[in-house]
A and B are shown apart, each in its own frame.
Chain A
Amino acid sequence: MAKIDKAIKDIHTADNTSERNNSVHPVSWLLVTIIYIIAVVSFQKYNIAGLAGMVLYILIQCMWHEISIKDMIKRIWPVFLLTVLVGIANPLFDRTVSAGVLSMATLILKGIFCVTASYILFTHMGIRQICYALRILHFPKELVTILLLMHRYLIVLLKELERMQLAYKLRAPGQRGLHFKTWGSFVGLLLLRSIDRAGEVYDSMQLRGFNGTFQVFPERYNTVRSVAYAAVWCIAILALRIFPVFEMMEAAIWRILNLGV
């Protein structure tokens, strides 16, 4: 109950804080994130030292925008877990076990970096701004509308879940969680109710002139800052991609050690 309540609140808070204090244009944010993700994904599967350098982007963003790393981990650990699960079978399928371990680590890191970068994006932009930026970047209107509606649907689903859970609990006092026999009907009903409700919400949006486009006000953004933000980060990310900083540091350390020997 409290968890659902908190989840809904979190979604709303993210939407609000992010829409207010932001002078950088959403397109800049989105572009930087996309380029970062492409750069991360493009590393070879054994190039873990090079990939590790990409962590700098995340650290700097977190420090700069005062994003609590602890909070972040608390919120997205299930996704981390998922990437670990996906990677874990890797050692069995690779050429050798040690190569497999290496590629597993790379895969897991890639997953974590991508998720974290998206998280940072979402802490800074509401869903409306992201959709707006996607439209400017010529993503298909239908796709963007679906994204926006899915976000709305998530809230509707959580609210409906909260209501049904309350009704259930009140009539099954002392019972911990749902009885497994009711799972089927509970989930089925939840889906039906939330779909109905989502339909009504969509009606309400349409009645108020929604036609799949997003009104965000460009005059609010500072052009110079937006361009500078995108330019600086793109160059930095490319630099991290081309010059594997940690690898270079490692090489330097080896060289010094070798010299010492």
Chain B
Amino acid sequence: MADIELRGVNFSYQKGRQVLHDINISVEHGKTIGLIGANGAGKSTLLKLLVGLITDYEGIIEVLGQPVEKKNLSDIRKKTGYVFQDSDSQLFMSTVYEDVAFGPRNYGYSEEIVQKKVMEALCKVHIENLKDRQIYRMSGGQKKLASIATILSMEPEIVLFDEPTIALDPKNRRNLIGILNSMPETKIIASHDLDMILDTCEETVLLSEGRIVCQGKTKDILKNKELLEKHDMELPLCMQDRRTNE
């Protein structure tokens, strides 16, 4: 059984302006799926539907075998982590430790276990040294890594990433790709960073104006220049012809 299943999903924020049209996606356990598309294609909306931040959709959405509806939300959210596009919305406690501990504490673990989970999560993203830092005083990239740690500390079975490499410098971006590849969880990664998608996802879904236009092996989609350009995207840098000034 698939961990994430969407069948015939339609959604609109306002009447008459449909944002998602007939979405069908199925993500097997342990798989990593890339979600690409131009600005406004509906990537963030799709991820929000999966954790029930938006519930008034048409069609069928099932996460870990449970339909995404009000009565199942607490169960689904316990097992599904969502890394926000904007870290400032994700982080709200004063220090990194407090923020990463927020989830486990809410699930009623003792302080000893909470501490263990927090330290494990911080180690996974290599920011143990930022443990006591005031979030308000951190750089964008550091906040991004802290956001990811807040999700990892809850030990979810599924993790949804919305633009995870935004605000990261090349080294931290590399570092994050390593982290993503080492995570055994089922993942959906929505991003414009096609090189990262190429490095992390076996399969990719290409969204354009709320419709799935293509779904398949990442390599096949990302090397299809025509397809990408038709939907307002460009080839990943590593696939573009390298021009030199010589």
Q: Are B84 and A16 in contact (CB under 8 A)?
A: no
User: How many whole Å from B21's CB to the nearest CB in chain A?
Assistant: 24
A12-B134, A219-B111 in contact; A210/B88 too (CB < 8 A)? Answer: no
User: How many whole Å from B108's CB to the nearest CB in chain A?
Assistant: 7
Residues on the B chain within 8 Å of A159, using CB: 88, 136
Q: Are B108 and A215 in contact (CB under 8 A)?
A: yes
Residues on the A chain within 8 Å of B77, using CB: 206-209
Stretch in B29-37, B99-107, B225-233 touching the partner: B99-107
Q: Are B78 and A16 in contact (CB under 8 A)?
A: no
Q: Are B111 and A217 in contact (CB under 8 A)?
A: yes
Closest to A219 in B: B111
Give the docked Cα–Cα distance between A215 and B108 (Å): 7
B94 within 8 A of A: yes
Contact check: which of A15, A207, A217, A219 meets B94 at CB < 8 Å?
A: A15
Q: Are B51 and A207 in contact (CB under 8 A)?
A: yes
Closest to B154 in A: A208
User: How many whole Å from A184's CB to the nearest CB in chain B?
Assistant: 26
A16-B95, A208-B106 in contact; A200/B84 too (CB < 8 A)? Answer: yes
Contact check: which of A12, A16, A203, A210 meets B53 at CB < 8 Å?
A: A203
Q: Are A200 and B89 in contact (CB under 8 A)?
A: yes
Closest to A196 in B: B89
User: How many whole Å from B61's CB to the nearest CB in chain A?
Assistant: 16
Residues on the B chain within 8 Å of A13, using CB: 94
User: How many whole Å from A3's CB to the nearest CB in chain B?
Assistant: 15
User: How many whole Å from B42's CB to the nearest CB in chain A?
Assistant: 18
User: How many whole Å from B226's CB to the nearest CB in chain A?
Assistant: 37
A200-B84, A203-B53, A209-B77 in contact; A215/B89 too (CB < 8 A)? Answer: no
Most buried by A among B77, B134, B136: B136
Q: Are B111 and A12 in contact (CB under 8 A)?
A: no
Q: Are A8 and B89 in contact (CB under 8 A)?
A: no
Residues on the A chain within 8 Å of B88, using CB: 159, 197
Per-position 1/0 for A156-196, Cβ under 8 A of B: 10010000000000000000000000000000000000000
User: How many whole Å from A4's CB to the nearest CB in chain B?
Assistant: 11
A12-B134, A16-B94 in contact; A204/B106 too (CB < 8 A)? Answer: no
Give the docked Cα–Cα distance between A211 and B108 (Å): 12
A205 within 8 A of B: yes
Contact check: which of A8, A206, A217 meets B136 at CB < 8 Å?
A: A8
Contact check: which of A15, A200, A208, A217 meets B103 at CB < 8 Å?
A: A208
Q: A-side binding surface: helix, strand, loop or mixed?
A: helix
Which residues 126-163 of A sit at the B interface, judged by CB distance below 8 A?
A: 152, 155-156, 159
Residues on the A chain within 8 Å of B165, using CB: none
Which residues 10-25 of A sit at the B interface, judged by CB distance below 8 A?
A: 11-13, 15-16
A201 within 8 A of B: yes
Closest to A5 in B: B136
Closest to B86 in A: A200
Give the docked Cα–Cα distance between A200 and B92 (Å): 10
Give the docked Cα–Cα distance between A217 and B105 (Å): 9
Q: Are A204 and B107 in contact (CB under 8 A)?
A: no
User: How many whole Å from A22's CB to the nearest CB in chain B?
Assistant: 15
Q: Are B89 and A12 in contact (CB under 8 A)?
A: no
Q: Are B51 and A210 in contact (CB under 8 A)?
A: no
Closest to B80 in A: A207
Residues on the A chain within 8 Å of B74, using CB: 209, 211
Most buried by A among B90, B94, B107, B150: B94
Q: Are A197 and B89 in contact (CB under 8 A)?
A: yes
User: How many whole Å from B134's CB to the nearest CB in chain A?
Assistant: 6
Contact check: which of B51, B94, B103, B134 meets A209 at CB < 8 Å?
A: B103
Q: Which residues of A contact B (CB under 8 A)?
A: 8-9, 11-13, 15-16, 152, 155-156, 159, 197, 200-201, 203-211, 215, 217, 219-220
Show 14 residue pairs from A and B whose CB-CB distance is below 8 angstroms, ordered by the A residue. Answer: A8-B136, A12-B136, A155-B92, A159-B88, A197-B89, A201-B89, A203-B89, A204-B84, A204-B90, A207-B82, A208-B77, A209-B77, A215-B108, A217-B110
